[in-house]
Amino acid sequence: MLTNVCYAVAGVMLTVNGDVLFGAVTEIAGVVSFIYHYLQLDLGKDRNEVRLALVIDYITAGKKMWIASHYNFFMTCNIFLQE
């Protein structure tokens, strides 16, 4: 659950540096990940609530990775276009 602190720090840093969408999605992914891990520890791994939280965690993490990959692609293209 300590990795969720990294989500929070990264989300705040991205937002402060002007990447509001990427920062917000990172923050949301961190909150959902925290909820999933909390439920897993509190209820046990075989509960339907935990499985639902895991699916939502995968969806939000996937969205964050999709946005990050597009962000990196366009930043790379921008670097090459400036040269």
Tokens describing residue 4: 């969720």
Give the residue carrying structure tokens 């995968």: 58
What pTM was computed for the model?
Answer: 0.77
Find the mean pLDDT for residues 3-15.
86
Ordered by start, the domain boundaries in the chain are 3-82
Beta strands in 1-83 (DSSP E): none
Contact in structure between 43 and 76 (CB atoms under 8 Å) = no
Name residues whose C-beta falls within 8 Å of residue 37's C-beta, 6 or more positions apart in sequence. 1, 4
Could you give the CA distance from residue 13 to residue 55 in angstroms, rounded to a whole number? Answer: 27
6 confidence band (pLDDT: 50, 70, 90): confident
